[in-house]
């Protein structure tokens, strides 16, 4: 995965009627806001490095102690940090790490969790029992603390961070897919495929699984937000990426001692992280409203009338 590719297409899953979905998401108030915010982040990731290329800070190893802790000025719009690096440039470059870690962790979580959930829900029996007990155990650990322990053991660094966050969060995908597969495998078309002599394995991977992924798609943005929250929290504790990578959580953690003298160094990275998590949460809320028929707007008919009129009141 290269760092500068647009990370908007969230998951490697087939999303039927995708532009239809996009249009519906744009109509929904919160997902529209989320998408606009995300577009901003993507723009910063793609265009940002070109704009800051001239600045010496764009080399992460740059230091200039003579210019440390300056306030905002024409040459340093957001001032400089304790090592004299331009804060804005570091924030711009940091965007890619935050998004990359989020997407990396969720993709890894999906790659581990979806197959396990599918096997668990489809074959049931002892496979299910085994996988579910295992998931119970992983879920017994507080999610953030498991990631924390894993990073502590594996050591810091981008790759280990992604692994730790993914390992701590994949059980949720297992649960999600299992529940979905359990209901889809009872659908008539599954029976039909079996009746046509399709092998069990093929029924699972070609028929049941693709139809079980909607909950994963709905959950994905929220998981992205959660992954960024976890990863930046680890960064804050000094357990994230290695120095001097300008990851936002790490930047915040490094500036903690400056809370009395230079609180602005705590404000900017925090705002950036908040914006990213907010964007994914808003998108996730919209996604759930749009894709989950149980949630509704007030402008809909009472339940009894809906039952009678089909989809009239949607």
Partner 1 sequence: MTALLDVKNLRTHFHTTSGVYRAVDGVDLTVHAGRTLCVVGESGSGKSVTALSVMGLIDAPGQVQPGSEIVFDGRDLLRLPERQLRSIRGRDITMIFQEPMTSLDPVYTVGYQIAEAVRAHNDVDRKGATERAIELMRLVGIPSPERRIHDYPHQMSGGMRQRVMIAAALSCDPKLLIADEPTTALDVTIQAQILELMKDLRDRLGTAILMITHDLGVVAEMADDVAVMYAGKVVETGSVTDVFNRPQHPYTEALLQSVPVLGMSKEHPLRVIQGMVPSPLNWPTGCRFAPRCTEAFDRCREELPPLFTVDDQRSACWLCETGARGSAGVEEIYR
Partner 2 sequence: MMGYVTRRLLIAVPTLVGVAVVSFLLMRLIPGDPARVLAGPDATAADVELIRRQFGFDKPVLNQFLDYMGRLATGDLGRSARTGDSVLAEILARLPYTVMLAVLATLLAVLVGCTLGVIAAVRREGLADLVLSGLSVFGVSMPVYWVGLLLVILFSVNLGWLPAAGAESWQGYILPTVTLSFFTIGFISRQMRSAMVETMEMDFIRTVRAKGVARWAVVLRHAVRNAALPVVTVIGLQFGQLLGGAVITETIFAWPGIGRLLVESIGARDFTTVQGAILIFAVALILVNLLTDIVYAYIDPRIRYD
305 binds partner 1 (CB under 8 A): yes
Residue 61 or 307 with smaller CB distance to partner 1: 307
* Residue 72 to residue 98: CA distance in whole angstroms: 24
Residue 65 or 140 with smaller CB distance to partner 2: 140
**Site size toward partner 1, by CB under 8 A:** 13
| Whether the bond into 173 is cis, omega within 30 of 0 | no
* Residue 202 to residue 211: CA distance in whole angstroms: 13
Contact 287, 215 (CB under 8 A): no
Segment interacting with partner 1, rule: CB under 8 A, options 12-20, 217-225, 235-243, 299-307: 299-307
Contact 158, 228 (CB under 8 A): no
* Residue 97 to residue 227: CA distance in whole angstroms: 12
* Residue 147 to residue 229: CA distance in whole angstroms: 12
Q: How far is the CB of 285 from partner 1 (least distance, A)?
A: 18
313 binds, among partner 2, partner 1, none (CB under 5 to 8 A by kind): partner 1
Give the sign of the dihedral formed by CA 197, CA 203, CA 208, CA 213.
negative
297 binds partner 1 (CB under 8 A): yes
Tell me the three state secondary structure of residue 86.
Answer: strand
Residue 66 or 302 with smaller CB distance to partner 1: 302
Tell me the three state secondary structure of residue 167.
Answer: helix
27 binds, among partner 2, partner 1, none (CB under 5 to 8 A by kind): none
305 binds, among partner 2, partner 1, none (CB under 5 to 8 A by kind): partner 1
Site residues for partner 2 per CB under 8 A: 30, 133-134, 136-146, 148-150, 152-155, 225, 229-230, 232-233, 236-239, 249, 252-253, 256, 259-260, 263, 266-267, 270, 273-274, 277-278, 281-282, 285, 295, 297-298, 302-303
Q: How far is the CB of 307 from partner 1 (least distance, A)?
A: 9
As a dihedral over the C-alpha atoms of residue 40, residue 81, residue 145, residue 181, rounded to 10 degrees, the angle is 10
Q: How far is the CB of 300 from partner 1 (least distance, A)?
A: 6
Residues engaged in binding partner 1 (CB under 8 A): 297-302, 304-305, 308-309, 312-314
């Amino acid at each position: 995965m290269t760092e500068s590719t647009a990370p908007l297409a969230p998951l490697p899953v087939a999303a039927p009627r995708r532009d239809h979905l996009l249009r519906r998401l744009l109509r929904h108030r919160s997902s529209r806001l989320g998408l606009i915010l995300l577009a901003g982040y993507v723009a910063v990731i793609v265009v940002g490095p070109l704009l800051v290329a001239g600045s010496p800070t764009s080399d992460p190893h740059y230091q200039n102690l003579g210019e440390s802790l300056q306030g905002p000025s024409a040459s340093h719009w957001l001032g400089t940090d304790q090592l004299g690096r331009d804060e804005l440039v570091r924030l711009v470059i940091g965007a890619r790490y935050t998004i990359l870690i989020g997407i990396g962790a969720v993709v890894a979580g999906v790659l581990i969790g979806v197959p396990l959930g599918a096997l668990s829900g489809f074959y049931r029996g002892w496979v299910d029992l085994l996988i579910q007990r295992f998931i119970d155990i992983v879920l017994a650990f507080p999610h953030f603390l498991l990631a924390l322990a894993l990073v502590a053991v594996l050591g810091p660094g981008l790759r280990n961070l992604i692994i730790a966050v993914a390992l701590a969060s994949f059980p949720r995908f297992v649960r999600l897919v299992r529940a979905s597969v359990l209901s889809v495998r009872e659908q008539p078309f599954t029976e039909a495929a079996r009746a046509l002599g399709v092998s069990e394995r093929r029924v699972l991977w070609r028929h049941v699984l693709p139809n079980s992924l909607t909950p994963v798609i709905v959950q994905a943005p929220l998981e992205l937000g959660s992954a960024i929250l976890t990863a930046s929290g680890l960064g804050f504790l000094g357990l994230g990426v290695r120095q001097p990578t300008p990851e936002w959580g790490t930047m915040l953690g490094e500036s903690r001692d400056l809370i009395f003298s230079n609180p602005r160094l705590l404000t900017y990275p925090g705002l950036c992280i908040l914006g990213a998590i907010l964007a994914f949460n808003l998108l996730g809320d919209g996604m759930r409203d749009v894709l989950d028929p149980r949630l509704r707007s007030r402008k809909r008919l009472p339940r009894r009338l809906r039952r009678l009129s089909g989809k009239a009141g949607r």
